[in-house]
Amino acid sequence: LNITLDTLLSFQENLTDKEITELVYKADERLKNEGYEETFQWVKEKLEMYPNCEQLIWQMAVILDAYRLKKNITNSERYEDYILGWYGRVLCSKDEKLRTCAADSLFGYYSRKEQYEKAEEYLNYFSEQNPERKRKQAYIFSKTNRTKEAYKEYEELLFFEYQMTSMVLNSLYMLAAE
């Protein structure tokens, strides 16, 4: 019939930014008014409706993960597999920004658990040019008693920032001189 399975099952490929924002806002409101378990089930249903909307998947995972940590939800371990799975799905995104966001979320998760070797794996999703990668690497080094390596990373990061600041100030000077 020339109908894709997604169309047949009424799946939408993606949502607009506005629709995603509305769903995230609704999730936040539900967390405040209905509680974690009810909201978690609602989020699962929404993600089943929009299984290809990576932005929604990542944002819902973040909001549930953050709320779980902030409010010290009891039995929160039972939600972790879902949340980690959602982050993992976004790691496969074609969108570099989303991949980096998911990697950052996973880095934070494993850092909080003091599983630094696992956290370090997610740095591979950051661009080599991304200063956050270097900062996070220095953090891992400092937490795993690799002090010399941590100093080196922090110093390189400072030097890079100094060079950038110097170039910007020089450009401002040249602009003012004109």
pLDDT digits (tens, 9 = 90+) for 24-54: 999 999 999 998 999 999 999 999 999 999 9
pLDDT of residue 20: 94
Taking the C-alpha atoms of residue 115 and residue 98, their distance in angstroms, rounded to an integer, is: 23
Cβ-contact 25, 60 below 8 angstroms: no
pLDDT of residue 2: 60
Residues of the chain with pLDDT under 70: 1-13, 74
Q: Which long-range contacts (CB under 8 A, 24 or more apart) does 75-78 make?
A: none
Q: Which two tokens stand for residue 12?
A: 């939408």
For 104, the 3-state DSSP assignment is: helix
List the end-to-end C-alpha distance of the chain, in Å, as a whole number. 67
CA nearest to 142, candidates 109, 119, 168, 160: 119
The pTM for the full model equals 0.82
Taking the C-alpha atoms of residue 18 and residue 62, their distance in angstroms, rounded to an integer, is: 18
